[in-house]
Structure 1
Amino acid sequence: MFIKKQFLTLLLCFIAFSQAFAAITMNRVEPQNWWTGMKNTQFQILLYGPNISAATISLNYPGVKIKEVAKVENPNYIFLYLEVSKAAKAGSLPITFKSGAEKFIYQYPLLSRTEKSGAKGFDASDVLYLITPDRFVNGNPANDNLDSVSVNRGSPNARHGGDYAGVLQKLDYMRDLGISTVWLNPIQENRMRGGSYHGYAITDFYQSDPRFGSNLEFKELTEATHNKGMKMVMDMVLNHCGSSHWWMKDLPSKDWINNDGVFLQTNHATVSVMDIHAAPTERNTFLNGWFTRGMPDLNQRNPHLATYLIQNSIWWIEYARIDGIRQDTYSYMDFDFLSRWNKEVYQEYPDFNIVGETWYNKKTSPAWWQQNSALNTNNSRLKTPMDFSLTFATQKAFDGGSDNGYLNELFEDVAQDFVYADAYNVLTFLDNHDLGRFSRKEDTDLKRYKQGLAYLLTMRGIPQLYYGTEVLMTGTKEEGDGRLRVDFPGGWPGDKKDEFIKSGRSVLQNDAWDYLHQLLQWRKNSLAITKGTLIHYAPKNGTYVYGRIHKEQTVMVVLNSATKDQDITLERYSDLTGKFTKGKDVLSGKTFQLKDKISIPAKGNYILELE
């Protein structure tokens, strides 16, 4: 027994001695660079390598000093916090690692921050065009297949091959349509088994998915977008990562993943975070549960992870100069973390804008999440929640018959805008990548389509369109998410139809495209719509009337949900008509005298510029 103990002691000493003098290797350094001139002078570097925490670290560089060397449970990680003074110059930071007799110097790039385009944010003067990159255009077939995951357009849930090169090819198409802002579903690496075409299972937060293109190609795409007078929004996911993320094989600490890294299905009880009656166990399961087994839930209460995620957002903004972020699964994350994240992003980029995916049936809940909300004693600092309740009302609002149909629900939903701290800074939409398409297979004409788009693009808020809306793409949730994210015809070599061009579209599709084009091009120059206040009237006899007013400009919108022509008496709308004597419909060009009444066709709409 004594000999065995001696042998074990010698063995452990030998292992410790060997490790002390082993070559220092670095497997990961994130972020790969930082910048001088940032408003927040401190930043974190994640260092990952075999037993890296055993090394002592030093740095000798003018204007830069080590504030903290943070070690965690896992000896293969160090979180290094550096302070960069205003006087520091760009260059390579010689971070020195010593372990026993071994010495290793890592040259960390500190770049010079320069004034560039981008980071402008977006507001109600913009129209966002949401794209699932894998399903839009395949501009570079050479990057289709990777990691034994091949393109299979026959499967709605497989990779189809769309990429940055494809988006780049269609920037003129989007601009000509009237789009001001391109929003891409997540573009970071998803090296998941099966491919994760949708992008929401990120396996490397600092790398672009190579099936879309490189980091540089995304940066160049954003620059090209800016050069055409448009903006770029990046879809981000800080709630979870993909199960194939590199750190999942060797977590920094047990609490890096919620529920100690053990799968717990979230109950999706989104209201539990604000519900004063919510059972603690239900709230805990919602916040700490995982979206799916393939999407481990990140614990933003871990201070090192929180800083890592915040810095990742700032790195992408500074590197690619994106103009905005849409944050996925917003309400699933830690509230204090989100408040800090917003604060630090806006401190660095005051003109920036962030949209939070606040998916609720009632508008009081997204209002609770908006900054300066009277409903919430804690400030979330989120500028733009998503108005899902208005979307749900809009999707059925124009199905009415001879009575008011669902227009009353539409009116009453907007009438509840008093719950918002800023009702003009919410995201509005008819559909998106998670909802059934607004256009339906059973629609034989464009009356519902035209009313819906007229409403979306003249109502208060920041409107978002989903790719393919302009060519009447259809798809229901019951058919599966893949059917909501179909390939844009003409985006792949050999496609039988090319719906990007007029000759490739049907007569009905061209009517839809032209209508949206006309509406978008007019909207750009209407201050009443992009900057004006809203007043509206309760629907009556199937008609809903509202106005947008900016100084001397007034736009009056009339929607008729009835299946018959309607005469509306103008006396009721004197708040809008006032001193004006006539109104010109921006779509038909027809001018109406504002005397006693005007007639509006069945299931029709007018957008009148008052003169």
Structure 2
Amino acid sequence: MKRLLLAIVTVLFLGNITAFAKNKIDHLEPAFWWVGMKSPKLQLLVHGENISDLKPELNYAGVSIDKVSRVSNPNYLFVDLLIEKDTKAGEFDILFKKGKKTAVSYKYQLLEREEGSAERIGFTPKDVMYLITPDRFVNGNAENDNVAGLKEQVDRSDSNGRHGGDIQGMINSLDYIADMGFTAIWVNPLLENDQEKYSYHGYSTTDYYKIDGRYGSNEEYQKLSRLAKEKGVGLIMDVILNHCGSEHWWMKDVPSVDWINNKGEFMQCTHKRSTIQDSYASKEDLKQFADGWFVKTMPDLNQRNEFMATYLIQNAIWWIEYAGLSGIRVDTYPYSDAEFLAEWTGRVMEEYPNFNIVGEEWSTNPAIVSYWQKGKVNHDGYRSNLPSLMDFPLQNAMVEALTKEETWGTGWIKLYEMLANDFLYFDPGNLVIFPDNHDMARIFDQVERDYDLYKMAIVYTLTMRGIPQIYYGTEILAKSDAGGDHGKLRTDFPGGWEGDQINAFTGEGLSDQEKDAQAFMKRILNWRKTSDVIHNGKLMHYAPELGIYSYFRYSDAGKVMVILNKNKEAAQIKTARYHEMLNGNETGKDIISGKTYSLNGSFEVPARSALILEIN
């Protein structure tokens, strides 16, 4: 009789799941949560064959089941929990019953929050972000280059293949990052991307709660955040709300026909982002943009589905709490449903009022970009909760200003006039500014490999209003492929792999110019860390004249004058023009060269140079 019972009743151990007979849970997300969150609500996505036939029950002080939702697919249950304010951390069984019998049991954990978690400070203008494509930075653990069960294997000879960079590599490089003067790292997506090919970039998520095994583990990601924080470096997570990967587990068994836009069938996105703000746009154009897919391997998520929306909101909060994040960067921000975006950012910022989130709206039109910033009064009444955006308009104008001849309407005037559009933004000081990123040619190439222009771009980025971001390798004049191959512009960082002949960490094999660029940036970055006037100061700029563009950052803490000279000859600067700023100030010390300049009457700015003068 005992043998018969053992044959009939099978006990399976899958994480916290105990299953009996034929019922089992394949996924329960989020797998655990925390007590003391501002919102008492938590929705569990439960996936398993015919799980909707079962009724969930639990018995734990301070926790109750508020609602159970069933959808068209019987393999899903959505269980809404209420967690009271004073609930104690601990664990309890969620019993999934059929009649009076328990078919599946899941041991759920509620954890204590880290002290001060709710008040965590996000990235601010005090910071400079170091943007890393992890697969291409440093291979710190060769043993995880290939992982059993994950489709794509390492092939460093393929520019679009996986090269082996990982979390351990970033951990190993924290001293370099901190010594350079960076105070935050924005890492391109690390979540599992179990796609057949072209998976290294990370933007085709196949598991929203799991770090890709070829990068490491969830625990290693936690460790990276903790060790970085010890060195004064925050961790910013790259989040994709618009789409997932075609190999995501739910694509094989979607909860409902409206889980993915266009009923799960591929429809090409038009990428015409301005249809959102266009008063004259047709509904059809708006639908083809908002519901279209990036590519066939990136199914477009339908955030109008209430369960999808809640899933994505909770996932962001889970990672902030779990990893102690200092910020989030949201990929392809305007591609998601606009009302959902307002709710998503609102819910995250409600939990973490001092946090920061930056969205990617790749438009060179500041009227389009500013639409998405919190506090902006929009023509259509749309209210955003997004604190920050990537300043693509300023980046584009900076490159044009550096590379175009000084004629009316081009050159410095382009940059001057773009900055004058700041009145469109609610908070221009909270924008993220940058010379290049992971989706565009390297700045050294954008300025036609002119080293003097490169240095002006770096000076401008690190002294202008906003929060600077520098792409890994930009400090050593990294170059991109002329053919536009993204895999080649996301080049391996030299010295990140055993046997590399060039090593940017030690300087071995770098050219004199590359070493100089690295030292140049390091000097400015470490000065910037201590400059309150750059962090918090106001801005006054002067209309360009004769190839010279100049501006001041100023506050009660002091003044800094920045002068950019594109001319092939030295230029005389007459200080009378700057009487508003220089009244009573006699000298300025260039933080790059260390030279002191007299500000009485006039002074000479070297040809094709940038000065950063601390005014005395």
- TM-score strictly above 0.5: yes
**1:16-55 mapped onto 2 (5 Å cutoff):** 23-55=22-54
1:599 is the counterpart of 2:572: no
Over 3 Å counting, the alpha-carbon distance change for 1:299 and 1:445 in structure 2 is closer
What code does the residue aligned with 1:121 have? G
Aligned 8 A contact 1:22 1:102 in 2: no
Q: Quick one: which of 212, 217, 222 aligns to 1:214?
A: 217
Aligned 8 A contact 1:403 1:542 in 2: no
| Deviations 1:491-545 (CA, angstroms, capped at 9, x unpaired) | 0111121122123321111110110011001111111111101011110111011
1:380 is the counterpart of 2:384: yes
Aligned 8 A contact 1:401 1:563 in 2: no
**1:211-610 mapped onto 2 (5 Å cutoff):** 211-376=214-379, 377-401=381-405, 406-440=411-445, 446-476=451-481, 478-610=483-615
Aligned 8 A contact 2:576 2:601 in 1: yes
For residues 444 and 233 of structure 1, what CA distance do their matches in structure 2 show?
30
RMSD over aligned Cα atoms? 1.6
1:133 is the counterpart of 2:120: no
Aligned 8 A contact 1:171 1:225 in 2: yes
Per the alignment, residue 143 of structure 1 pairs with 144
Query: Secondary structure at 2:445's aligned position in 1?
Result: coil
Q: For this pair of structures, how many residues does the alignment match?
A: 591
Moved more, 92-101 or 570-579: 92-101
For residues 443 and 331 of structure 1, what CA distance do their matches in structure 2 show?
31
Aligned 8 A contact 2:441 2:484 in 1: no
1:112 is the counterpart of 2:116: no
Over 3 Å counting, the alpha-carbon distance change for 1:565 and 1:403 in structure 2 is farther
Per the alignment, residue 98 of structure 2 pairs with 99
For residues 108 and 541 of structure 1, what CA distance do their matches in structure 2 show?
68
Query: Secondary structure at 1:34's aligned position in 2?
Result: strand
For residues 158 and 603 of structure 1, what CA distance do their matches in structure 2 show?
40
Taking structure 1 as the reference length, the TM-score comes to 0.94
Over 3 Å counting, the alpha-carbon distance change for 1:562 and 1:86 in structure 2 is same
1:71 is the counterpart of 2:70: yes
Taking structure 2 as the reference length, the TM-score comes to 0.94
| Deviations 1:433-462 (CA, angstroms, capped at 9, x unpaired) | 001110129956521111110100111111
Query: Secondary structure at 1:448's aligned position in 2?
Result: helix
Query: Secondary structure at 1:502's aligned position in 2?
Result: coil
Over 3 Å counting, the alpha-carbon distance change for 1:537 and 1:442 in structure 2 is closer
Aligned 8 A contact 2:502 2:508 in 1: no
For residues 551 and 428 of structure 1, what CA distance do their matches in structure 2 show?
24
Structure 2 residues not aligned, in runs of 5+: 1-19
Aligned 8 A contact 2:399 2:446 in 1: no
Task: Give the drift of 1:603.
Answer: 1.3
Per the alignment, residue 15 of structure 1 pairs with none
Aligned 8 A contact 2:405 2:411 in 1: no
Task: Give the drift of 1:378.
Answer: 2.1
Query: Secondary structure at 2:545's aligned position in 1?
Result: coil
Aligned 8 A contact 2:192 2:205 in 1: yes
Over 3 Å counting, the alpha-carbon distance change for 1:314 and 1:456 in structure 2 is same
For residues 406 and 26 of structure 2, what CA distance do their matches in structure 1 show?
68
For residues 419 and 481 of structure 2, what CA distance do their matches in structure 1 show?
26
Task: Give the drift of 1:148.
Answer: 4.5
For residues 21 and 52 of structure 2, what CA distance do their matches in structure 1 show?
13
Aligned 8 A contact 1:407 1:561 in 2: no
What code does the residue aligned with 1:72 have? V
Query: Secondary structure at 1:538's aligned position in 2?
Result: strand
Query: Secondary structure at 2:105's aligned position in 1?
Result: strand
Per the alignment, residue 84 of structure 1 pairs with 83
For residues 479 and 42 of structure 1, what CA distance do their matches in structure 2 show?
46
| Deviations 1:461-485 (CA, angstroms, capped at 9, x unpaired) | 1100000011100115733111110
For residues 449 and 105 of structure 2, what CA distance do their matches in structure 1 show?
69
Structure 1 residues not aligned, in runs of 5+: 1-20
Aligned 8 A contact 1:159 1:196 in 2: yes
Query: Secondary structure at 1:537's aligned position in 2?
Result: strand
Moved more, 597-606 or 333-342: 597-606
1:163 is the counterpart of 2:160: no
What code does the residue aligned with 2:389 have? P
Task: Give the drift of 1:195.
Answer: 5.0
Aligned 8 A contact 1:402 1:563 in 2: no
Task: Give the drift of 1:567.
Answer: 1.1
Query: Secondary structure at 1:398's aligned position in 2?
Result: helix
For residues 473 and 300 of structure 2, what CA distance do their matches in structure 1 show?
32
Aligned 8 A contact 1:402 1:562 in 2: no
Task: Give the drift of 1:108.
Answer: 1.0
Moved more, 468-477 or 337-346: 468-477
Task: Give the drift of 1:24.
Answer: 2.2
Aligned 8 A contact 2:447 2:453 in 1: no
| Deviations 1:168-192 (CA, angstroms, capped at 9, x unpaired) | 0100001111100011000100001
What code does the residue aligned with 2:146 have? N
For residues 446 and 408 of structure 1, what CA distance do their matches in structure 2 show?
21
For residues 114 and 402 of structure 1, what CA distance do their matches in structure 2 show?
55
Per the alignment, residue 15 of structure 2 pairs with none
| Deviations 1:205-252 (CA, angstroms, capped at 9, x unpaired) | 000010000000000111000111110000000110000000000000
For residues 77 and 470 of structure 2, what CA distance do their matches in structure 1 show?
44
Provide the identity percentage. 46
Query: Secondary structure at 1:24's aligned position in 2?
Result: coil
Aligned 8 A contact 2:561 2:615 in 1: yes
For residues 145 and 282 of structure 2, what CA distance do their matches in structure 1 show?
47
Task: Give the drift of 1:260.
Answer: 0.7
Aligned 8 A contact 1:400 1:561 in 2: no
Moved more, 233-242 or 97-106: 97-106
Over 3 Å counting, the alpha-carbon distance change for 1:54 and 1:463 in structure 2 is same
For residues 317 and 178 of structure 1, what CA distance do their matches in structure 2 show?
24
For residues 198 and 149 of structure 1, what CA distance do their matches in structure 2 show?
12
For residues 535 and 493 of structure 1, what CA distance do their matches in structure 2 show?
48
Query: Secondary structure at 1:83's aligned position in 2?
Result: strand
Query: Secondary structure at 1:463's aligned position in 2?
Result: strand
